Structure 1
Amino acid sequence: MDWRAVKFDWNKARAFLVTAEEGSLSAAARALGMAQPTLGRQVDGLEQELGVVLFERVGRGLTLTPSGLELLDHVRDMGDAAGRVSLTALGQSQALEGTISISASETYATVLLPPLVAKLRQQEPGIHVEIVVANHASDLLRREADIAIRNFRPTEPDLIAKKIGMADAILYATPQYIEKIGAPTTPYALRNADFVNMDRTGGMLKGLNSLGLGLTEANFPLLTESYLVMWELVKQGAAIGILDAHIGDAEPKVQRVLPDLEPLTFPIWLVSHREVTTSRRIRRVFDFLAEELKR
């Protein structure tokens, strides 16, 4: 098929692209922040418009058909081209007016960003702010956001990044839960405690055991990909959770577990596209966030 002769609905094409990259409808729906049935209808609609089958089901995942593989490169080119057009238009804008999108994880978007955005709006009422809540890394090159707060340094050459500092990840639980497990005073004493798992790959288990906790998979009876759900479970006394100390220490319902335990540390990076920093309003927001987050 000559894909160049086909007129695409970009929403459907983007649904196809993200599904192909994520490998399943559920993962793609999470990445795009939409309901899985809605995403499925967009992919089905694209298949009907083109008259081809793009995916085959393999177990719980999806694999591309030959037609899907052929289409994938063209849709990627479309996404890159759309991103370049949008970036160029934004880069040429010199007004301190318009919309800026900021991507952050659930906890940062819920706790850290609202007071900063309120302060920014007082200083720059012409700037409208869209907060993109994403626990995955938003694709700045495809304009999923203008600015992102991340815990890792980007590797893409077209992105610029500024390291804001380091943060401590601390273990928290309610006083009642700490008393329930015997008020432990050593890392090894937590070997019978329950934890909320945030990582299917075993990285959290490995990280905590590096601190001498001696945990196994049996210590993680609760699993969620949502930081807000994890934090609510901790506040309800269901288990121990780990969170940025700036957020955890401000919650009166919980306290640090083993206050003298060495924390896990992670960096905080502010990331944007190299071209969009030529826009005065995006530069203004980038510098504002960099200054405020340092505090």
Structure 2
Amino acid sequence: MHRDNWDDLRFVLAVAETGSVSGAARRLGVNHATVLRRIAGFEERAGVALFDKTARGYDVPTDKRRVVEAAREVAAAMQAVDRALRGAKAPLSGEVRVTSTDTFCQVILPPIVADLRREAPELRIEILCTNAHVDLARIQADIAVRPAVELPEDLVGEFVARLGFRAYGATDGGADTWLGLSGPLSRSMPGRWIEANVQPRNITGKADSFVILREMVAAGLGIAILPVVLGEGDARLRARTDLAPDLSVPVWVASHVDLAGVPRLAQVRARIARALREQAGRLQGTV
């Protein structure tokens, strides 16, 4: 269809819904002649007479009503596009609470939040750090950045990258025993691997934080499985790929189902997701 026909459709719809050229002209804020010209132009290009001109006004024959319904769908779609464009142009502002693990809160998210603030100075972001799989409604968080095999049913979001894990020991030696994971991290993929592959007698310490585990490894207290974004580049640590395979888990950016459609949150989620995708190699430990 010729692209001019898309604009003509609003004239078609106005005549069909008001039943007259004069009614359509009032609705659209144009003169009578303009409506006639646009309707005639549409019918000529489409090769079909859409209206029956009667004493009562302009009627749409039964076999042409599908055209009017299609015009109504086009109008609804154009209105949706217009709303989206207005939302995109509106300044991003207000408060957004983002929850994530200690690794993301300390190493990954602060630079992303700094970039967001430069783009949207009126935006205020609060970072909430917890390694537990939280109830967003209960802690009043808006967005979760979570490494997890899958999302809980009450969250909706998108997979953006994979977080890699690797075994590390101290560069200068240190104990050859293992450091385990406690609290919520005991149920993580590294925690389950340790439980399945390391004898309890060989675990001489534990922590409920990967950041704390890194410091314990650096102090020579043992070997631990850490996110590669904490281990790689730390001169105090050396990878021990001879002791455990590399592991990885999906990273999600999500919101509670009741909040997912809020425009402000959707925009922030999209920006965080884009930034994490750009760091996919670093997160997985392939670069």
TM-score, length of structure 2 as denominator length: 0.58
CA positional deviation for 1:241:
1.5
Alpha carbons 2:204, 2:222 under 8 Å: kept? no
Q: Which residue, 113, 125, 128 being the options, matches 1:129?
A: 125
Summarize deviations over 1:39-86 as a string: whole Å, max 9, x none: xxxxxxxxxxxxxxxxxxxxxxxxxxxxxxxxxxxxxxxxxxxxxxxx
**Structure 1 residues 271 and 253, CA gap change in structure 2 (3 angstroms):** same
Alpha carbons 2:160, 2:250 under 8 Å: kept? yes
Measure the CA separation in 1 of the matches of 2:243 and 2:178. Answer: 19
Residue 285 of structure 2 is matched in structure 1 by none
Residue 163 of structure 2 is matched in structure 1 by 167
Q: Which residue, 152, 155, 169 being the options, matches 1:155?
A: 152
Residue 21 of structure 2 is matched in structure 1 by none
SS at match of 1:176: coil
CA positional deviation for 1:254:
1.1
Measure the CA separation in 1 of the matches of 2:122 and 2:107. Answer: 24
**2:278 is the counterpart of 1:282:** no
Aligned residues: 185
Unaligned runs of 5+ in 2: 1-89, 279-287
Equivalence map 1:231-270=2 (5 Å): 231-258=214-241, 262-270=245-253
The one-letter amino acid of 2:171's match is: P
Percent identity for Structure 1 against Structure 2? 24
CA positional deviation for 1:143:
5.0
Measure the CA separation in 1 of the matches of 2:261 and 2:120. Answer: 18
Alpha carbons 1:197, 1:220 under 8 Å: kept? yes
Measure the CA separation in 2 of the matches of 1:206 and 1:291. Answer: 30
Measure the CA separation in 2 of the matches of 1:252 and 1:143. Answer: 37
The one-letter amino acid of 2:151's match is: P
Alpha carbons 1:127, 1:281 under 8 Å: kept? no
Measure the CA separation in 2 of the matches of 1:205 and 1:162. Answer: 24
**Structure 1 residues 143 and 166, CA gap change in structure 2 (3 angstroms):** same
Q: Which residue, 138, 144, 152 being the options, matches 1:142?
A: 138
CA positional deviation for 1:243:
1.4
Alpha carbons 1:147, 1:271 under 8 Å: kept? yes
**2:202 is the counterpart of 1:219:** yes
TM-score, length of structure 1 as denominator length: 0.57
Summarize deviations over 1:7-62 as a string: whole Å, max 9, x none: xxxxxxxxxxxxxxxxxxxxxxxxxxxxxxxxxxxxxxxxxxxxxxxxxxxxxxxx
SS at match of 1:237: coil
Report which of the two structures shows the higher radius of gyration computed on alpha carbons. 2
CA positional deviation for 1:284:
1.4
**2:98 is the counterpart of 1:112:** no
Alpha carbons 1:96, 1:280 under 8 Å: kept? no
Alpha carbons 1:138, 1:144 under 8 Å: kept? no
**2:275 is the counterpart of 1:292:** yes
SS at match of 1:277: coil
Unaligned runs of 5+ in 1: 1-93, 182-192
CA positional deviation for 1:233:
0.6
Measure the CA separation in 2 of the matches of 1:219 and 1:225. Answer: 18
**Structure 1 residues 205 and 122, CA gap change in structure 2 (3 angstroms):** closer
Equivalence map 1:188-207=2 (5 Å): 193-199=176-182, 204=190, 206-207=192-193
SS at match of 2:233: coil
Measure the CA separation in 1 of the matches of 2:91 and 2:155. Answer: 22
